[in-house]
Amino acid sequence: MSAQHQDIFDFVTQQAPFNALPGSACDYFTHHLEVIYVTRENQHQWLDSAHPKLFLLRSGVIELVAADGEPIARLTSGDYFGYPSLLSGETIKNRIEVKREALAICSRKRTSIICAMNIRPLSNTLSVLTQIDSCLPSINTMATAGRSEKLPG
């Protein structure tokens, strides 16, 4: 395992719910990732409804912003984004604003996440998916902002 792959593996396996998966599943998952550098100049290209991805922020600060311009969440190391649209297939309406340039780990495609989790029985896979969803900082609903609509990705 290369030093870069080991670093990504170590980071991913410390994050819930990946820390609940067997090492072989995390190893598979980390071989199907890419590391991206997110800047103010390229921030618009990452949330793409035609190619939804799971993003795990490694460093930096990104703000998730609703279509109406209202901030949803400030994301830092260990936070996820993009996941609701990846799972639901709904159109992405939110956008990101880079507050401090970031490194993000992202899935190349949905199948790499599902295949990694399929190593476990279905009930455990659903539990892990639920854990991922619960790790998201107020992305699915904005009850704290007085909203009740579902916010995809």
Q: In the structure, what pLDDT confidence band is assigned to residue 115 with cuts at 50, 70 and 90?
A: very low
pLDDT at 14: 92
Q: Is residue 153 a part of any domain in this protein?
A: no
- Extract the tokens encoding 136: 């998201």
Structural domain total, the chain: 1
Q: Is residue 69 a part of any domain in this protein?
A: yes
pLDDT at 127: 52
What is the average pLDDT across 47-55?
85
pTM score, two decimals? Answer: 0.70
Q: Is residue 33 a part of any domain in this protein?
A: yes
CATH number of the CATH domain containing 14: 2.60.120.10
Nearest in space to 37 (alpha carbons), one of 12, 17, 55, 10: 55
Q: Is residue 44 a part of any domain in this protein?
A: yes
- What are 39-43's contacts with CB under 8 Å, separation 24+? 39/98, 39/101, 40/97, 40/98, 40/101, 43/95, 43/96, 43/97, 43/98
Q: Is residue 119 a part of any domain in this protein?
A: yes
DSSP string, 21-33: S-HHHHHHHHTTE
Q: Is residue 41 a part of any domain in this protein?
A: yes
pLDDT at 31: 82
Q: In the structure, what pLDDT confidence band is assigned to residue 105 with cuts at 50, 70 and 90?
A: very high
At 78-101, the pLDDT tens digits run: 998 887 877 777 889 999 999 999
Residue 109 burial (CB count, 10 A): 15
Q: Is residue 151 a part of any domain in this protein?
A: no
Whether the CB-CB separation of 101 and 61 falls below 8 Å is answered with: no
What percentage of the chain has pLDDT greater than the value 90? 33
- Whether the pLDDT of residue 122 is over 50: the answer is no
Q: Is residue 89 a part of any domain in this protein?
A: yes
Could you list the residue range(s) of the whole structural domain that residue 66 is in? 3-145
